[in-house]
Amino acid sequence: MTLKQQFKKNKIIHSTYNEFKKLKTSAEIEITNFALDAKLKSGHTNYTKYIILSRGRSGTNFLRGMLNSNYQSICFGEIFRDFGSIGWDLPGYRKGAKRLNLIQNEPEQFLEKYVFRTYPEIIKSIGFKLFYYHAQNPEWKSIWSYLQQAKDLHVIHLKRENMLATYLSTCRAHKTKVWENKSNKLERNEPMILEYEGCLEFFEKTKEFEIQTDDFFKGSKKLDISYEDLSENTNEEMKRVQSFLGMDYSPIKSRNYKQSVTPLSEGIKNYAELKAKFGHTPWSGLFEVQTE
């Protein structure tokens, strides 16, 4: 049976077209996309294209979860995280040899064919996460210029002001292999020892990343947002984000939660020692925030 014959017999298209984001299986998504490409159902490309620009442990899953809870937006994961895979991070999107070959050899075409493709008219924004250190291999590095030159690209630059909390969270995630919290159960973790040199390198590199990428995308439509503001004033910040992406405002809820409420002074075993060492440096203010 051809894909077109499958489409004619498949009732999924007719029953779930207006609930496109509820499609979960590869077959459902493939048939819907075929219908859109074949103009058997109306679709469009006049949506907002965007990236969430940041680094790990800075609230990107929190933001992405809220965007994906709005029917008008689809936010993929870290598509360019691993050269040997495709970081869709959404159910139903294929990672087969054909797609992998395309993303590895012609990443710009991959974005145009499989990410920024035709979508149902209810969809108003399509994006994915891109970390500062992603796509640095020769085969993928060209996507940075591609995105920089894309006149219609919107950039959400998400920064976490307290880089000490980011570094602690990063170290803990590498140790526990737990990268997301979807259960809304806050944990108090065992304290960790952080090395002064490791902290300093992390702070300096993160600040360098932020400055360089701000300059790199200075010609793009850009929205700066902090994880702290997003956490404390979620509703107001998400109004800004949705407006920036051309979406109708909708109260939304994240599918991801904080992983810890442990005070930094308790989560870092040598906190007092580090605070003293950083006391007369530009990073001293990082030790004033109490929780992770």
Q: What are the sequence ranges of the domains in the chain?
A: 1-41, 42-287
Question: Which 3 state secondary structure label does DSSP give 48?
Answer: strand
* Cα–Cα distance, 227 to 56 (Å, whole number): 12
Task: Give me the torsion for CA of 84, 88, 91, 97, rounded to 10°.
Answer: -40
Q: Are strands 43-44 and 119-120 parallel, antiparallel or unpaired?
A: antiparallel
Apex 37 CA angle, 33 and 41, nearest 5:
80
Most confident of the following: 4-8, 20-24, 264-268 = 264-268
pLDDT tens-digit profile of 92-119?
Answer: 999 999 999 999 999 999 999 999 999 9
* Cα–Cα distance, 173 to 290 (Å, whole number): 19
Predicted pLDDT of residue 288: 84
User: Does the structure show a pLDDT above 80 at 74?
Assistant: yes
41 compared with 148, residue with greater pLDDT: 148
Residues 6+ apart with CB under 8 A from 282: none
Please name the amino acid found at residue 142.
S
Residues 6+ apart with CB under 8 A from 93: 26, 29, 76, 86
- Residue 125 near residue 248, CB atoms below 8 Å: no
Over residues 231-248, mean pLDDT? 96
Q: Which tokens belong to 230? A: 């997003």
pLDDT band of 124, cuts 50, 70, 90:
very high
Question: Which 3 state secondary structure label does DSSP give 147?
Answer: helix
Q: Give Rg (Cα) of the chain.
A: 21
CATH of 42-287, one of 1.10.357, 3.40.50, 3.30.70, 1.10.287: 3.40.50
* Cα–Cα distance, 126 to 111 (Å, whole number): 11
* Cα–Cα distance, 64 to 127 (Å, whole number): 9
Most confident of the following: 18-27, 30-39, 145-154 = 145-154
How many whole angstroms from its chain centre is CA 30? 23
User: Does the structure show a pLDDT above 90 at 10?
Assistant: no
* Cα–Cα distance, 210 to 69 (Å, whole number): 28
Predicted pLDDT of residue 7: 47
Percent of the chain with pLDDT over 70: 86
Predicted pLDDT of residue 132: 98
User: Does the structure show a pLDDT above 70 at 145?
Assistant: yes
Predicted pLDDT of residue 27: 87
Long-range Cβ pairs for the range 261-265 (8 Å, 24+): 261/186, 261/188, 261/291, 261/292, 262/187, 262/188, 262/189, 262/291, 262/292, 263/290, 263/291, 263/292, 264/164, 264/165, 264/168, 264/289, 264/290, 264/291, 264/292, 265/290
pTM, two decimals, is: 0.88
In the block, tokens 């590095």 appear at 141
* Cα–Cα distance, 227 to 35 (Å, whole number): 39
- Residue 110 near residue 103, CB atoms below 8 Å: yes
